[in-house]
Structure 1
Amino acid sequence: MSSLASGPTALIQVRWGFFISTQFLSVLVALSLLAGCGPSVNRYLLIETSLRAHDHKGADAIVAAAEKDYGSKSRVLYGMDRGMTLQLAGDYQQSNAVLEQAEDEVDRLYTRRIRTETLAFMTNDTALPYEGDPYEQVLINVLKALNYATMGQWQDALVEARRIDHRLNVLSDRTKEKNAYRDDGFARYLTGILYESTGDVNNAFIAYRKAYETLEATRAWSHTAVPSQL
């Protein structure tokens, strides 16, 4: 596999154009979904207002100032929120540092799940730390991949692409409900771009095919058209 030293080719830049054009909207949607889980809906309204005003640093400052309010059981949620606002503020390195901590916390909580689920069963659900829903866990790697790619660290971005594929492949195998979150066309499209950018055309083809199939299968309710680049 050959590495890409100078960045994507013209064709891949076209694919990036579509992907990046949807990134800001995706972050707003993600923050809106996370708002229901957070300790303060008002905080998310302030964040959204700042983002719509293109005050990305202001939005990040709101999240940073509220770190203690998230509490010890919402470290993953704080990491996702902060990682997204740092990315939009252009601090890609710090964004990845925070997202890495969130991902480590997800892995740590996974190993404790049986014990904490037993505790919650004996007491109440609030005893369970928040480890994120599957789509949020995938989003962590998506954001990290975008940060690495933006900084020109293509091999690191490729590592995140493989992590995305692994998460989605495991999720697809484990999830039996037809309408449940079991794949992600947006994330698959990103991995395809990253594979193609680094010369791995075989995995790029597989990723693009899965992206097309997933986007086509969900377009009725997502109202998201399949990119013409696919």
Structure 2
Amino acid sequence: MFDLHVTTGIVASVVCFLLYAVPILTFKRVIRKGSVEEFSCIPYILTLFSNLTYTWYGLPVVSSGWENWTLSGISSIGVLFSSTFIIIYTWFAPRGKKKLIMMMVSALVIIVVSAVLLSSFAMHTHQMRKAFVGSINLVASVLMYGSPLVAVKQVIRTKSVEFMPFYLSLFSFLTSLLWMLYGILGKDPFLTAPSAIGCLMGIIQLIVYCIYSKCKEAPKTNPDIERADVMKVSASQEDTKGQKP
């Protein structure tokens, strides 16, 4: 029998997989250049946080049975992707950034482990566990979807979209849209609310990209400065000729 809720979850998982895979292009560049340049690791750390919490949320311990198996499955894959990206980033990052990344990752791991222990042993119904873990998921998702605003700020400041890949913004929007639909069909506010915020963030990113993707021309040199440089070179050449015997 056709189940629209499950089908939407499967489609959302496929698009979500593409979203997780998009940064491979970014990290190929990082490895090739041996530098993280102006790329930020914050989106990947917050993605790891969100994936860890949603993996736990989708398991039968929290959800009723396997009603959210698609969510748990794709989130666990997201954990592998984001962990790999963070490791690569840390390897090529400057010493100061390495310490900050390790502190942030350690903090989120402590939060997730604490949530797992509390929901497993201190709460005895699925309703209580879903409310508790879902609230943490809500915060994690809002942070994850809001993290690209760091890149948006940089795009506006530099007037360049070099460090905000288009496909990352596109798949982020599509993933949010599909998970929002999945949450609506499953009557799950802890999926619907953060995904709706993700849709809004994705739209903002796409608008900013469209505006600044046209600003790719290198800044033109002031003609007065060029003329002054030419005159200096000419004068220098004349002095050299005058000094010859």
The normalised TM-score by structure 2 is 0.35
Structure of larger gyration radius: 2
The normalised TM-score by structure 1 is 0.37
Per chain length, whose mean CA-contact separation is higher, i.e. which structure has more relative contact order (CA < 8 Å, sep 6+)? 2
